[in-house]
């Protein structure tokens, strides 16, 4: 029809084979990329599954840090942070904050005194439309140095093999260091007396484009009072939530945000390694918690405190955890929102 | 226009091949990013979002161009079921090219995630925060991605079938590198 003389046609069979090979290879490449041929790949699903208690996780809750209570307040920047980061959140001024005090457990009904690690999720919004989300804990350093070892730790903790933990701790001494902290560090009777640390390192980018490797902490202005775990156990399963609710009703609670700047050579890729005490610190502002709201109807319930939601002027460093946390938190969010019908949003009026 | 076009216009061919690269990259990035917790996860996500918006913009341009210039007619001798499959697949492609980015954007909006493009450029939320909407859109985005890839495989198989076995000019209508639009004089 179009060309006067066609080249001789290849055999139909040969053509069909060629088509099958092209399609088959494309499908295989896609499946490979999706990890279907890589059972060893550490996927967000595997990470979140590893948190699931053997008894079955209650539906609709966060898959870790499942117990928590919402707060709202303001972050008041004093302006000094602008020397380190161009993010608007460090420009002198007040910015709305939303957050969640929480316990590092997969059980939303765990008694408060049984959970060693406490955390704070935080979101600060600025008028330029940007958000800074963070998820911090009260430990001064993390238990492991890579996401893979974290996964191995979760598996070892759930393992029935008595040697599983021993073997892992032998290979990763930082786990023992964390264990020593967990055993010896004082407990407080209030979220308001706890210090919350980013642990992960991030990069602040200032107005000149210069980069600063940093970690940050929220230091309580309320003086910490040490209480023995035995005494805490007598206070009832939800004493932390009741205490912070009462306390904030009596007056706003404050934390000072302190940014610690790394020296050249400090380990930024490993949150299990604390930086030396003498590193430069900069007080950049104050978080004021003004109101506490129960999680079911609170504004924090549907927020994923993904630590990679960062404004311009803050970015991730070579620390591999924020990426792993972002991937796993998103998976947790996808699952719990899909289970939302099992987590009634409206609490019953008749509360004890 | 008083002739019958045997090829898509140069603009249509350029859009087709540019989008072919973008969409394939998008699908591979998508299945790759949701299957890893390694630092490349963030890199892949940071490409996925702006590339999705770029595909949405290109698809809307392409739709307008298609409505203006149409498509060259299929060969007269093509069996009716194949004609039907060709037409339906084109509709499906437009639905997916425009729908997938909107589903992704809507899904992020319903989860109250900021939709970040390059640097500090943000898109507004197109939906309010909603657990049920997020789940619905997430599922649609996820499963339609596999349907999209399957459709592309079918499309490639059909294109090669036209090129190698039927040799009826359908493949050349889009694959030709000729800079003219192949308008044959009207009979």
Give the start-to-end residue ranges of the domains of chain A: 14-51, 53-140+185-342
Q: What is the set of domains in chain B, with CATH numbers?
A: 3-176 (1.20.950)
Q: What percentage of chain A has pLDDT greater than the value 70?
A: 93
Query: Given CB atoms, is B147 within the 8 Å cutoff of chain A?
Result: no
Q: How confident is the model at residue B69 (pLDDT cuts 50, 70, 90)?
A: very high
Over the stretch A200-236, which tens digit does the pLDDT of each residue have?
999 999 999 999 999 999 999 999 999 999 999 999 9
- Residue A17 exposure: Cα atoms within 13 Å on the Cβ side: 5
Q: How confident is the model at residue A1 (pLDDT cuts 50, 70, 90)?
A: very low
Beta strands in A262-331 (DSSP E): 281-293, 314-316
Which residues are A289's β-sheet partners? A73, A253
- Higher pLDDT, residue A8 or B165: B165
Cα A98 to Cα A22, A70, A286, distances in angstroms: 52, 8, 14
- Residue A340 pLDDT: 85
Residue B66: phi, psi to the nearest 5? -65, -40
- Residue B120 pLDDT: 72
Residue A131: phi, psi to the nearest 5? -130, 145
- Residue B180 pLDDT: 78
How many whole angstroms separate alpha carbon A22 and alpha carbon A42?
29
ipTM metric: 0.93
pLDDT for A352 beyond 50: no
To 5 degrees, how large is the angle CA A83–CA A130–CA B46? 100
Asked whether the beta carbons of residue A327 and residue B36 sit closer than 8 angstroms, the reply is yes
CA of A88, closest CA in chain B: separation in Å?
11
- Higher pLDDT, residue A345 or A309: A309
pLDDT for B157 beyond 80: yes
- Residue A245 pLDDT: 98
Query: Given CB atoms, is A171 within the 8 Å cutoff of chain B?
Result: no
Q: What percentage of chain B has pLDDT greater than the value 70?
A: 96
* Cα torsion A141, A116, A75, A320: sign: positive
Over the stretch A255-277, which tens digit does the pLDDT of each residue have?
999 999 999 999 999 999 999 99
Neighbours of B111 (CB within 10 A): 25
pLDDT for A58 beyond 90: no
Asked if residues B86 and B177 have their Cβ atoms less than 8 Å apart, the reply is no
Asked whether the beta carbons of residue A334 and residue B165 sit closer than 8 angstroms, the reply is no
For chains A and B, count residue pairs whose Cβ atoms are closer than 8 Å.
Answer: 122
Over the stretch A176-194, which tens digit does the pLDDT of each residue have?
999 999 999 999 999 999 9
pLDDT for A347 beyond 60: no
Residue B78's closest CA among B171, B6, B149, B168? Answer: B168
Asked whether the beta carbons of residue B134 and residue A128 sit closer than 8 angstroms, the reply is no
Q: Suggest the residue from A323, A329, A339 to mutate for an interface test with chain B (most B CBs closer than 10 A).
A: A323
Residue with tokens 């999705």: B52
Cα A83 to Cα A283, A313, B18, distances in angstroms: 12, 11, 43
Over the stretch B84-106, which tens digit does the pLDDT of each residue have?
999 999 999 999 999 999 999 99
For domain A53-140+185-342, is the CATH number 2.40.180.10?
yes
Residues of A in Cβ contact (< 8 Å) with B38:
42, 147, 320, 323-324
**pTM given for the model:** 0.92
Q: Both tokens of residue B164?
A: 């190698």
Give one DSSP letter per residue of chain B, joined into a string: --EEESS--HHHHHHHHHHHHHHHHHHHHHHHHTT--STHHHHHHHHHHHHHHHHHHHHHHHHHHHHHH--PPPPTTS-HHHHHHHHHHHHHHHHHHHHHHHHHHHHHHHTT--EE-STT-EEPPSS---HHHHHHHHHHHHHHHHHHHHHHHHHHHHHHIIIIII-SSHHHHHH---SS--EEEP-
CA of A228, closest CA in chain B: separation in Å?
38
* Cα torsion A228, A230, A231, A237: sign: positive
Nearest CB partner across the interface for A340, out of B37, B45, B132 = B132
Nearest CB partner across the interface for A34, out of B35, B39, B131 = B35
- Residue B73 pLDDT: 93
Closest residue in B to A3 (Cα) is: B169
Nearest CB partner across the interface for B131, out of A2, A131, A302 = A302
- Residue B46 pLDDT: 94
Q: Suggest the residue from B37, B42, B47 to mutate for an interface test with chain A (most A CBs closer than 10 A).
A: B37
- Residue B117 pLDDT: 87
Determine the 3-state secondary structure of A133 from DSSP. Answer: strand
Over the stretch A283-297, which tens digit does the pLDDT of each residue have?
999 999 999 999 998
Asked whether the beta carbons of residue B35 and residue A304 sit closer than 8 angstroms, the reply is no
Q: How confident is the model at residue A68 (pLDDT cuts 50, 70, 90)?
A: very high
Query: Given CB atoms, is A154 within the 8 Å cutoff of chain B?
Result: no
Q: What percentage of chain A has pLDDT greater than the value 90?
A: 89
- Residue B121 pLDDT: 84
Secondary structure letter of residue A275 according to DSSP: P
Those of residues 69-128 in A touching chain B at CB distance below 8 A are 128
Strands A202-205 and A196-197: unpaired
Asked whether the beta carbons of residue B31 and residue A130 sit closer than 8 angstroms, the reply is no
- Residue B44 pLDDT: 97
Asked if residues A296 and A344 have their Cβ atoms less than 8 Å apart, the reply is yes
Cα A171 to Cα A86, A152, A167, A271, distances in angstroms: 41, 11, 6, 17
To 5 degrees, how large is the angle CA B166–CA B169–CA B171? 85
Over the stretch B100-136, which tens digit does the pLDDT of each residue have?
999 999 999 999 999 988 877 889 999 999 999 999 9
Non-local (6+) Cβ contacts of B92 within 8 A are B151
Burial B52-64 (b: 16+ CB within 10 A, else e): bbbbbebbeebee
- Residue A21 pLDDT: 97
Query: Given CB atoms, is A42 within the 8 Å cutoff of chain B?
Result: yes
Over the stretch A70-96, which tens digit does the pLDDT of each residue have?
999 999 999 999 999 999 999 999 999
pLDDT for B27 beyond 50: yes
Closest residue in B to A42 (Cα) is: B36
CA of B12, closest CA in chain A: separation in Å?
21
Closest residue in B to A323 (Cα) is: B39
Q: Angle formed by the axes of helices A147-158 and A44-51, to 10°? A: 40
Nearest CB partner across the interface for B37, out of A27, A43, A316 = A43
Asked whether the beta carbons of residue B42 and residue A29 sit closer than 8 angstroms, the reply is no
Length, in residues, of chain A: 352
Q: Angle formed by the axes of helices A147-158 and A321-338, to 10°? A: 50
Average pLDDT score, chain B? 93
- Residue B95 pLDDT: 98
């Amino acid at each position: 029809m179009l060309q006067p003389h066609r080249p001789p046609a290849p055999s139909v069979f040969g053509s069909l084979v060629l088509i099958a090979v092209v399609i088959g290879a494309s499908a295989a490449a896609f499946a490979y990329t999706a990890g279907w041929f890589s059972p060893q790949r550490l996927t967000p699903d595997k990470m979140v599954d590893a948190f699931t208690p053997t008894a079955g996780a209650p539906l609709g809750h966060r898959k870790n840090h499942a117990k928590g209570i919402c707060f709202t307040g303001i972050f008041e920047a004093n302006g000094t942070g602008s020397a380190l980061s161009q993010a608007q959140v460090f420009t002198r001024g007040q910015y709305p904050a939303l957050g969640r005090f929480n316990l590092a457990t997969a059980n939303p009904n765990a008694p408060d005194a049984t959970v060693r690690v406490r955390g704070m999720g935080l979101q600060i919004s600025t008028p330029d439309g940007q958000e800074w989300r963070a998820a911090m804990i009260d430990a001064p350093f993390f238990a492991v140095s890579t996401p893979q070892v974290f996964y191995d730790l979760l598996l070892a903790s759930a393992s029935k093999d008595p040697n599983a933990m021993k073997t892992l701790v032998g290979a990763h001494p930082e786990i023992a260091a964390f264990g020593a902290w967990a055993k010896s560090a004082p407990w407080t009777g209030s979220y308001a007396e706890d210090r919350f640390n980013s642990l992960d390192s991030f990069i602040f980018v200032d107005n000149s484009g210069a980069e600063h490797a940093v970690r940050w902490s929220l230091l309580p202005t309320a003086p910490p009072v040490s209480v023995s775990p035995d005494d805490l156990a007598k206070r009832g399963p939800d004493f932390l939530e009741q205490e912070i609710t009462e306390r904030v009703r009596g007056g706003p609670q404050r934390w000072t945000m302190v940014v610690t700047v790394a020296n050249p050579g400090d380990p930024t890729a490993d949150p299990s390694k604390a930086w030396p005490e003498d590193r430069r610190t900069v007080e950049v502002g104050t978080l004021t918690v003004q109101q506490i709201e129960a999680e079911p109807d609170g504004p924090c319930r549907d927020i994923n405190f993904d630590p990679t939601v960062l404004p311009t002027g803050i970015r991730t460093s070579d620390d591999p955890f924020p990426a792993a946390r972002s991937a796993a938190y998103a998976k947790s969010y996808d699952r719990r929102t899909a289970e939302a019908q099992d987590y009634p949003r409206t609490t019953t009026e008749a509360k004890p | 226009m008083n002739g019958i076009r045997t090829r898509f216009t140069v603009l249509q061919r350029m859009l087709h091949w540019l989008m072919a690269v973008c969409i394939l990259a998008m699908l591979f990035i998508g299945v790759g990013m949701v299957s890893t917790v390694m630092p490349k996860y963030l890199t892949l996500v940071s490409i996925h979002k702006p590339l999705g918006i770029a595909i949405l913009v290109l698809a809307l341009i392409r739709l307008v161009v298609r409505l203006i210039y149409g498509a060259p007619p299929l060969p007269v001798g093509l069996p009716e079921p194949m004609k039907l499959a060709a037409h339906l697949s084109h509709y499906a492609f437009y639905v997916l090219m425009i729908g997938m980015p909107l589903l992704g954007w809507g899904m992020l909006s319903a989860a109250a995630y900021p939709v970040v493009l390059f640097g500090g450029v943000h898109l507004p939320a197109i939906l309010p925060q909603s657990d049920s909407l997020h789940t619905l859109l997430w599922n649609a985005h996820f499963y339609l991605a596999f349907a999209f890839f399957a459709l592309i495989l079918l499309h490639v198989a059909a294109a090669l079938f036209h090129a190698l076995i039927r040799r009826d000019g359908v493949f050349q209508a889009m694959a030709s590198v000729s800079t003219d639009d192949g308008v044959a004089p009207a009979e």
